[in-house]
Amino acid sequence: MNKYQSGGLLAFLLVMLIASINLVFSDNNKSAFHPAQTDCQQCHLAQGEITAENASQLLATQEKLCSQCHQKSLKVSHPSGLIPGQELPARFPLDWKNEMTCSTCHNVHVKGEASIRGGIRGKPLCLSCHQLTFFTTMADSGTSIQQSVHKGRISNEFSGADSYSMECMNCHGNEGDTINISINSKGIVKHNSGAVNHPVGMRYTDSYGRGSYVALEKLSKNVILPDGKVSCVSCHKGYSKKHGEMISVKSKTALCLECHDM
């Protein structure tokens, strides 16, 4: 190959490289990265190029920005937007306020869904920061929240049930679960401990239309309705040190009266 041929090949490769870079960062390819179909200025304060120096300057807290898409997940996941009580491993960075945020655990700008830093999940992820003694006071010794830091992937199928309830049943529907909870074919959650049985999976607005229910706008903010459906997390605290405890509501008499207009 002579110098003219090699020069032409080099120029061709350079053109192809530039074209591939432009393709990766073009508007038409934004959907490949998280968050999909979102301009940088929807979260970042800088109006021009986003650099390492100005990337931390956001229009709001990460919790507020992430909740634009992940509103329900934030309510039943690990607390965020707080100063941790202990020093975290270097791979889990705090923000400029020394607060633990969404990006402490997540690689935010990646292809597809935001991934966990270090590529670990479940109990190994929890024990990256917490000691085992942190979980000892929980009813199930922290087993549930160690297995699912967030509402995550679903392995079981229950007709009509919301994804949050199915996530709960990934643990509580197992034969090894001492609490022994089940959902029957009609969507009724059966608490074999003697607690009140209650259906899940129905749309609250459909029930409200038939009367005898409190208006949706008057419900406590603690009552979570994933995709508008009644769920396990409508009544129970999910990701909390008091995992499984009944939620706090306005009614001083009974949780039932938060939704039922009797």
Looking at the structure, tell me whether residues 97 and 189 fall in a common domain: no
Domain count for the chain? 2
Looking at the structure, tell me whether residues 256 and 181 fall in a common domain: yes
Residue 77 contacts residue 149 (beta carbons within 8 Å): yes
Looking at the structure, tell me whether residues 258 and 172 fall in a common domain: yes
Q: Nearest-CA neighbor of 96 among 79, 114, 108, 83? A: 83
| Percentages of the chain per state (helix, strand, coil), in multiples of 5 | 35, 10, 55
Residue 110 contacts residue 34 (beta carbons within 8 Å): yes
Looking at the structure, tell me whether residues 163 and 214 fall in a common domain: yes
> Mean pLDDT for each 10-residue chunk of the chain (262 residues)?
50 41 40 75 87 87 85 74 89 90 88 77 82 76 63 47 79 63 79 78 82 85 87 85 80 77 76
pTM: 0.51
Residue 156 contacts residue 170 (beta carbons within 8 Å): yes
Query: Is 15 domain-assigned?
Result: no
Looking at the structure, tell me whether residues 251 and 158 fall in a common domain: yes
Looking at the structure, tell me whether residues 149 and 111 fall in a common domain: no
Q: Are strands 181-183 and 115-116 parallel, antiparallel or unpaired?
A: unpaired
Give residue 21's pLDDT.
35
Q: Nearest-CA neighbor of 141 among 157, 124, 155, 123? A: 123
Full residue range of the structural domain in which residue 257 is found = 130-262
- Biggest distance spanned by C-alpha atoms of the chain: 90
Query: Is 218 domain-assigned?
Result: yes
